[in-house]
Chains A and B, each alone.
Chain A
Amino acid sequence: MSEVIVVTSGKGGVGKTTTSANVGTGLAAMGKKVVLIDADIGLRNLDVVMGLENRIVYNLVDVVENKCRIKQALIRDKRHPSLYLMPSAQTKDKTAVTPEQMVKMINQLRESFDYIILDCPAGIEQGFKNAIAGADRALVVTTPEVSAIRDADRIIGLLEANEFKQIDLIINRLRQDMVRRGEMMSSSDVVDILSIPLIGIVPDDENVVIATNQGEPLVGNNTLAGKAYQNICYRVVGKETPFIEFDKGISFWTRVSGIFHKN
């Protein structure tokens, strides 16, 4: 049975597209048939994060307007034989698609994929409504910052109102050194505030920027973020996976001085 997952956050710039790209790629690497849908119409980005921007012919709007068949719009990722991307339109705006059209397209895709992952646009308007319309579960991405958490709380409320049965939290760009100094909220602080299940913690890692520059998702490689995304994929498919301790590799003296910084 296929599962439709929407990756959402409310606030922009917290890592929805990076999360979508890495979770989708990771699931495909595990042998699942995956389609990534860029639901951000007018501001498409998932194609560049995936490094597939030069291969777009048709897009999501063409599909819903019946200008092409679904298969013609799907771009196959050459690195993973079971991974496909449905790109968004760059020249249209959010009103070009309705929630009903999205549901219809997703239901067609359910027949041939295990996982359908929707990269939701920022905001709570039409684009958000389109992205959540056909989804079964949600991954809410936030960073440990006041503004992102506030927006995540709003999004969770809206998802609950839309009767989502499974809403999981991803905390992105966590800096353990700052948490230790008492200058950043910890993952448990964020979970306490938002009170939804935690499915992943991604440390702030410069390798994410490097990977985006190269158009190559880093899930599964030896970087901290790559491992964190891999673990999220395991948890998405229901495999229990312990959370990585990011403190590993920090010297004894840093730990000792950390004790004195605790309040």
Chain B
Amino acid sequence: MGIKHFFSRKKSREIAKDRLKILLISDRVNCSPEMMEMIKNDIAKVISKYMKIDTQTMEIQISKTGNKGHEGKTPMLYANIPILDIHGK
């Protein structure tokens, strides 16, 4: 194992957490990764009408919020969309 590899390697604990977060999202809302991809592409298309965004690194996620409301846990859709140029294309 090279020294560079030693520092850059992601521990399996983190890998497991990341994988579970994504996996449980689709399990919980009963929505496939393909459908998530389609939602992501549609969001990208709409936003792209108004500003230049980085579609390669954008992320969308559905997660259960930690705090329980009076109607239990509400799923939330988060979108992380890096804007490359806010003044349009």
A195, CB-defined interface residue at 8 Å: yes
* A183 with B27, Cβ < 8 A, contacts A146-B20, A195-B64 known: no
Is A183 a contact partner of B11 (Cβ separation < 8 A)?
Answer: yes
State which of A16-24, A86-94, A153-161 sits at the interface with chain B.
A153-161
Selected contact of B72 from candidates A160, A182, A186, A193, CB within 8 Å: A160
Interface string of A138-157 (1 = CB under 8 A from B): 00000001100110011001
Contacts of A153 in B (CB 8 A): 24, 27-28
Is A193 a contact partner of B28 (Cβ separation < 8 A)?
Answer: no
Nearest residue, chain A, Cβ from B7: A263
Contacts of B13 in A (CB 8 A): 179, 182-186, 189
Nearest residue, chain B, Cβ from A194: B24
B window 1-29: CB within 8 A of A: 11-14, 16-17, 19-21, 23-24, 27-28
**Alpha-carbon distance A216/B20, docked complex (angstroms):** 36
Chain A residue total in the interface (Cβ 8 A): 19
- Given pairs A181-B11, A185-B17, A195-B73, 19 additional interface contacts (CB within 8 A): A146-B20, A146-B23, A150-B20, A150-B23, A153-B27, A153-B28, A154-B27, A157-B28, A160-B72, A182-B11, A182-B12, A182-B13, A183-B11, A185-B13, A185-B16, A193-B17, A193-B20, A263-B11, A263-B14
Complex A-B: 11 CB contacts under 8 Å:
A146-B20, A150-B27, A153-B28, A160-B72, A181-B11, A182-B14, A183-B13, A184-B12, A189-B13, A195-B64, A263-B11
> Which residues of B come within 8 Å of A, CB atoms?
11-14, 16-17, 19-21, 23-24, 27-28, 64, 66, 72-73
> Which residues of A come within 8 Å of B, CB atoms?
145-146, 149-150, 153-154, 157, 160, 179, 181-186, 189, 193, 195, 263
